[in-house]
Amino acid sequence: MRLGRVGATADVSVSLRQGLIDAYEHTVTLRSRLGLRLQLTLALGLISALLITVSVASLISLAHINATIHQTIEHESQVSRLAYQISTQTLLCRRYEKDLFLNLADATTRADYLTKWQTAYTNLDQAIVAFDTAVTTPDDHQQAATWRVARQHYGTAVVQVEQAIASGRIYDTRSGQRRSHPLQREHSHY
């Protein structure tokens, strides 16, 4: 049985060799029929077609890279604008908080600044949510979560200070500053 296989393999090998020899002879015959000028023209045409194909593929790749760059820049600039909005709303909250302390004696003005603070505080939350929605990396989502927690602590502290002012426990700016010292630590998270 083994000898039969070897013989069959040898037959396939001989027929494969004969096929390669025939193909080579056909190519030599074809070359000899075609003139040198025609052979060079065909080779140049083939190289030109290959060059055109590579050029088109390169142009398509460059267009794709350009589109990706523009999308990335647009996304990053949007995230940057959203982070700037968080910073702006944080600063507005701090401004209105300070105005609360500066107007301890005037309940009407204090109430006006409290309303402005509450608006800025709500806008800060919306800015954090917008940022968290727009970002894609885990680190950016973690940053948004940190901002949310810091915002919550900050809001609780401001409300407690306002309640202390309303109840008369805080009666001047100095006692308000001592009481709000934790607010300044909370602000450092932004």
Among all chains, which residue has been given the structure tokens 């015959």? 29
Q: How far apart are CA 172 and CA 100, in angstroms?
A: 11
Residue-wise pLDDT for 9-64, tens only, equals: 667 677 777 877 877 777 666 666 677 888 889 999 999 999 999 999 999 999 99
Q: How far apart are CA 21 and CA 182, in angstroms?
A: 92
pLDDT on residue 1: 46
Q: Where are the alpha helices (DSSP H) in 103-137?
A: 107-134
Residue-wise pLDDT for 80-134, tens only, equals: 999 999 999 999 999 999 998 888 888 899 999 999 999 999 999 999 999 999 9
Residue-wise pLDDT for 164-175, tens only, equals: 888 888 777 666
Q: What is the DSSP letter of 35?
A: -
pTM score above 0.85: no
